[in-house]
Amino acid sequence: MNNSHFTYTPAKENSRSSTLRLLFAKNTLSRTEIAATLNISTAAVTVTTKSLLDAGILIPCEDSSQLQNMHKAGRKQALLSINPNWKYVLAIEIFTDYVNLAVTDLLGYTIIQKNFPAVESFPAPKSFCEAISRECRLLIKSADISPDRILGAGISVQGAVDHINGIAMNPYLMEGPVPFKEYFSELLQMPVAVESNVCSVLQSELTYRTHIADHDNVLMLKWGPGVGSAMAIGGAIYKGYQFQSPEIGHNTFSRGKGLRCRCGRRGCLETTISEHVITSQISRLLDAGKDSDLNQLAKKCGPPSANNLSAYLDADIPALRKLIQKCMEKLVNAVHNAVIILAPDQLVLYGQFFKSDWIFQSFVEMLMERNPIIPKHFCVRNTTLNQKPFVGCTAVAIEQILFSEDFSI
């Protein structure tokens, strides 16, 4: 086990938070390993872990298959891990036309979930939050979980987010800024954490270290339905002016020309390679009626849409692949420039398009052609969301609530 490069943030934390942060990242560790990694005494770790064991947030690993030191002579080292059911997280994902609700355990596994109707039916942000809060209370009740077992609500929303005050600066679905933390704290009577949707997924990587191991400078790219990105530097999510993350999708490719982007400008990369644009381009290929294989696929799956786009993306039809590769070239150019400027240790890819094996592999090959010095395993694909779709909301709640100085166990 290589613990030497582990970084936890903020730089100065109490031993409780740093111990928990380490165990979320490493899954199971002995007291000796915790002490060595955090560079504190074993005695101090023993005191800290005893209080966490007494509180129930840590549990001993009694499964012999998890014991890492059985091959060593001498006394076996007892391992500790996070108790995933110590508390639960209320997850709220807010998108332009729908909302997902869920209750998860502390590792991000879904206990119960529900879709909420489109938000256009709610004229004001406060009434929107009131309607969601009612559904949240029903969901928690359906899960048969006492409200005092809920750590808090983790909310992800599109657009830039002032995570300190829980304000969505421009959430697209309504005019911003929207103080989601203020509204939901009052309505749900629980701690609330708010983050942008891509930053929340990046936070899950920083919290659980599923794909990034010990890398602390990480660039995340989402492709589908739009193009989103976020960056972590030194193990913490980086944001700039007005809480903006690095926006690869809003690179300007043709200033003043093309479709108007949801950001208000024209010429953004996203307007040329989004799910909506590619679906429309596939429809135009079908309308031309020149490709029999494509016509057969349409008869089988129906006209291309967000619901069946994966079938078109995975189809081995030359005309389709040529179309997608042209879009991919634009994205590779933008990502290559971002990698040169930001110099991340790892690039994490996720989203509808990267679920396709050939798209993921082709993207990596094209990027490495552009930049031959990129290490072999520089690009990784986030697959955690397949099993834990709300893990971003869980991680945000853990980071902002459990690790806060004000939280009392």
Residues above pLDDT 70, as percent of the chain: 91
Of 122, 215, 107, 197, whose CA–CA distance to 158 is shortest? 197
Alpha helices in 233-304 (DSSP H): 270-273, 275-288, 292-301
Question: What pLDDT does residue 5 have?
Answer: 44
* 5 found inside a domain: no
Question: What is d(CA 41, CA 32) in angstroms, rounded to the nearest whole number?
Answer: 9
Q: How many folded domains does the chain comprise?
A: 3
* 210 found inside a domain: no
* pLDDT surpassing 70 at residue 172: yes
- Examine the domain organization and report whether 101 and 28 are in the same domain: no
The pLDDT of 223-232, averaged and rounded, is 96
Question: What pLDDT does residue 9 have?
Answer: 43
Question: What is d(CA 271, CA 250) in angstroms, rounded to the nearest whole number?
Answer: 9
Helix (H) or strand (E) holding 192: strand 192-196
- Examine the domain organization and report whether 227 and 351 are in the same domain: yes
129 Cβ neighbours under 8 A, 6+ residues apart: 180, 183, 184, 187
* 101 found inside a domain: yes
What does the pLDDT look like over 33-87, one tens digit per residue? 999 999 999 999 999 999 999 999 999 987 534 444 444 445 567 999 999 999 9
- Residue 255 in tokens: 């200033």
- Examine the domain organization and report whether 75 and 107 are in the same domain: no
* pLDDT surpassing 50 at residue 158: yes
Q: Which of 1-15, 70-84, 209-223, 232-246 bottoms out in mean pLDDT, i.e. has the lowest? A: 1-15
Q: Give the residue numbers spanning the domain of 277.
A: 215-381
* 6 found inside a domain: no
- Examine the domain organization and report whether 75 and 130 are in the same domain: no
- Examine the domain organization and report whether 244 and 328 are in the same domain: yes
What does the pLDDT look like over 292-318, one tens digit per residue? 999 999 999 999 999 999 999 999 999
Instruction: Point out the domain boundary residue: 67, 82, 97.
Output: 82
- Examine the domain organization and report whether 65 and 199 are in the same domain: no
User: Which band of pLDDT confidence, cut at 50, 70 and 90, is reported for residue 118?
Assistant: low
Of 223, 163, 172, 170, whose CA–CA distance to 199 is shortest? 163
* 7 found inside a domain: no
Question: What is d(CA 123, CA 60) in angstroms, rounded to the nearest whole number?
Answer: 50
Q: Which of 122-131, 133-142, 337-346 bottoms out in mean pLDDT, i.e. has the lowest? A: 122-131
- Examine the domain organization and report whether 283 and 261 are in the same domain: yes
The pLDDT of 348-371, averaged and rounded, is 97
CATH number of the domain bearing residue 78 = 1.10.10.10
- Examine the domain organization and report whether 99 and 200 are in the same domain: yes
- Examine the domain organization and report whether 66 and 191 are in the same domain: no
Question: What pLDDT does residue 50 have?
Answer: 96
Buried b (16+ CB within 10 A) or exposed e, 311-337: ebbebebeebbebbeebbeebbbbbbe
